[in-house]
Amino acid sequence: MTHATLFSPLALRGVTLRNRIAMSPMCQYTASDGMADDWHLVHLGSRAVGGAALIMVEATAVSPEGRITPGCLGLWDDAQVEPLARIARFIQRQGAVPGIQLAHAGRKGSCRASWEGGAPLPPCDGGWELLSASQMPFSPSSPTPRAASTADIAALLRDFANAARRAVAAGFEIVELHAAHGYLLHQFLSPLSNKRCDAYGGSPEGRNRLLIELVLAVREAIPAEMPLFVRISATDWIQGGWELADTERLCVRLKRHGVDLIDVSSGGLQPDAQIPVAPNYQVPLASHVRRAADMCTGAVGLITEARQAQEILARGDADLVFLGRELLRNPYWPMDAQRALNERRTPPLPYRSAMAG
């Protein structure tokens, strides 16, 4: 596997990214009935204008019950396709690639928005029943979810596959499955949240089964030339939980079943995890997965400086860097990084006179 520089292209199946900078999926909690609006167009479109190669739309629920909050985006209805298609078209016109993350919140759903405190949303205020691998709440103050039945799992497979088809119809060029941060697919993976005794629990193979089946279902629902990503929490940061060795074994299987890149994050399963947050703290996880599974990875988490991102790629720790909060602070970070690394700047034509040099 080759090493790269920040402004070298990356080819994945039938898609080529113009550089190695991706906008990480970040929930905005501003949708109504799952529908994207002008906020999403400006929020996502400005980062495409700013020079990022991949614009990943936030966690997009595959069913109404899969939302984190009432303000989450959705792709459970055909009416939700065109508002997202408008955004995908704009992103493409800026030379960037539109991607979308498909998700189900599981036991971390039915909450108020973060600026409203993020507390569980009761049924009297529009809340909904929660679904998880087992009847275990996220925290002592959280509602107890219902353990998914065989019928629920069959519905999940249909919902993810149908959402993937709608993503294709909307013009997205990359699909990512959200199996990190304590949401439903992560709840099935971790032994701390999955206490099932059926085919979807117990052994690592059983706990991995839902994600593998979803990958196969989504891979079948999207074109062969379309890349498929999976975001993974590589470790729970909790003794006895999901660990890096589990991630390694899973990713070997994911590659075999058609996954093209692992977006490597960590944590989120339980609120008491002790996470050693610092610049580059998740980069060794991405590096380990890249080498052990012999597949492309994305590094994410407190990557804020151009030379920092360049070094991650130059060392071969990852193939792509995902920027989150730093792109919220500065939509034009990629162009600033070009200047910092003495690369030729390529601002959009209407801005060129102001950004020359």
Nearest of 273, 328, 275, 288 to residue 304 by alpha carbon: 328
Structure tokens given for 254: 């994911």
Residue 17, sorted as left (phi over 0), alpha (psi -120 to 50) or beta, turns out to be beta
- CA contacts within 13 A on the Cβ side of 355: 20
For range 181-186, the mean pLDDT: 98
Q: For residue 49, what pLDDT is reported?
A: 97
Give residue for tokens 């052990």: 292
Q: How confident is the model at residue 346 (pLDDT cuts 50, 70, 90)?
A: confident
pLDDT digits over 218-268, tens only? 999 999 999 999 999 999 999 999 999 999 999 999 999 999 999 999 999
Q: For residue 344, what pLDDT is reported?
A: 84
Alpha helical stretches, state H, 172-272: 184-189, 204-221, 244-256
Query: How buried is 51 (Cβ within 10 angstroms: 0-12 exposed, 13-18 middle, 19+ buried)?
Result: buried
Residue 34, Cβ neighbours under 10 Å: how many? 23
Q: Indicate which residues carry an active-site annotation.
A: 183
For range 167-195, the mean pLDDT: 98
Alpha helical stretches, state H, 223-282: 244-256
Q: Is 191 helix (H, G, I), strand (E, B) or coil?
A: coil
Q: For residue 158, what pLDDT is reported?
A: 98
The mean pLDDT of the chain is 96
Q: Is residue 150 within a helix (H) or strand (E), and if so which, with residue range? A: helix 150-169
Q: How confident is the model at residue 353 (pLDDT cuts 50, 70, 90)?
A: confident
- The percentage of the chain sitting over the pLDDT mark of 90, rounded to a whole number, equals 93
pLDDT above 60 (res 293): yes
Q: Domains in the chain, start-ordered, CATH in brackets?
A: 10-112+130-351 (3.20.20.70)
Nearest of 334, 352, 351 to residue 343 by alpha carbon: 334
Q: For residue 20, what pLDDT is reported?
A: 98
Determine contact, residues 209/203, Cβ cutoff 8 Å. no
> Residue 256: CB partners within 8 Å, gap ≥ 6?
none
Q: For residue 284, what pLDDT is reported?
A: 98
Q: For residue 2, what pLDDT is reported?
A: 58
For range 303-332, the mean pLDDT: 97
pLDDT above 60 (res 357): no
CA distance 65 to 332: 35
Nearest of 123, 121, 38, 136 to residue 87 by alpha carbon: 38
C-alpha pair distances (Å), 25 with each of 122, 265, 286, 316: 27, 12, 17, 23
